[in-house]
Amino acid sequence: PPLYKQRYEFVKDLVRKYKPKKVADLGCADCTLLWMLKFCNCVEVLAGLDICAAVMKEKMHRLTPLPADYLEPSERSLTVTLHQGSVAHKDPCMLGFDLVTCIELIEHLQESELEKFPEVVFGFMAPSMVVISTPNSEFNTLLPGVTVFRHPDHKFEWDRAQFQSWAQDTAQRYDYSVEFTGVGNPPTGMEDVGFCTQIGVFVRKYPQTRELVQCEKPTEAAYKTVFKAVY
């Protein structure tokens, strides 16, 4: 299967395994991953965030309930919400999630956004689990035609050591543990380059301490809601 599908399947497998009720996808683009997660019965709240409203709207209709969803309502409730905004900003609508996914997002962030990202995701949202995927630049020599980056909008592409040191620093600062894996196997004989896509799975070490934080000044809304469906 194509690489993007392998990434989505990776997340879907995690959802099946850990059964999070509330999942947020940051940099959700055309909402394909959210649409796939809609079919996981454990999920009761799905939220998407992207800086680009136009890309979210492209296939947004797929998130609208179908007649069958009303004719044969299921036991579980499901709410799907899409927000326009940046992962460099905090918004209370992103609090209380069990799983936050950032698939091929961080390499699109400007330096100033990447600096704020850990505090927003790990410090503020503080979900039990965070999944971050990004290209492994060591694999690029195997990709025909890739001279600098795989995509012109990439601000950087990290090798495994760079991603892992950033991830480990971040995990340590916010009391998470992190494990590394990936998707897209290298061809036989080239195993040294690692996966095409590198993935960090972060797990929060201690139970939520958010109550403490909420005693501080409440955070004002920074995102704009562009879609909401209640099943």
Shortest distance, position 67 Cβ to ligand SAM, whole Å: 28
Question: How far is residue 69's CA from residue 75's CA, in Å, rounded to a whole number?
Answer: 11
Which region among 15-23, 85-93, 170-178, 202-210 touches ligand SAM (by CB under 6 A)? 85-93
State the virtual CA torsion across 75, 22, 86, 36 in degrees, nearest 10. Answer: -60
Shortest distance, position 120 Cβ to ligand SAM, whole Å: 9
Which region among 9-17, 58-66, 98-106, 195-203 touches ligand SAM (by CB under 6 A)? 98-106
Q: Match 């079919």 to its residue by tokens.
A: 39
Shortest distance, position 7 Cβ to ligand SAM, whole Å: 6
Number of residues near ligand SAM (by CB under 6 A):
19
Q: Does 157 bind ligand SAM (CB under 6 A)?
A: no
Q: Does 104 bind ligand SAM (CB under 6 A)?
A: yes
Q: Does 18 bind ligand SAM (CB under 6 A)?
A: no
C-alpha distances in Å from residue 31, one per residue of 28, 34, 125, 159: 5, 5, 20, 27
Extended strands (E) in 30-175: 45-50, 79-84, 99-103, 129-135
Q: Cβ(91)–Cβ(222) under 8 Å? A: yes
For 160, the token pair is: 């495994």
Shortest distance, position 129 Cβ to ligand SAM, whole Å: 17
Q: Does 50 bind ligand SAM (CB under 6 A)?
A: yes
Q: Does 109 bind ligand SAM (CB under 6 A)?
A: yes
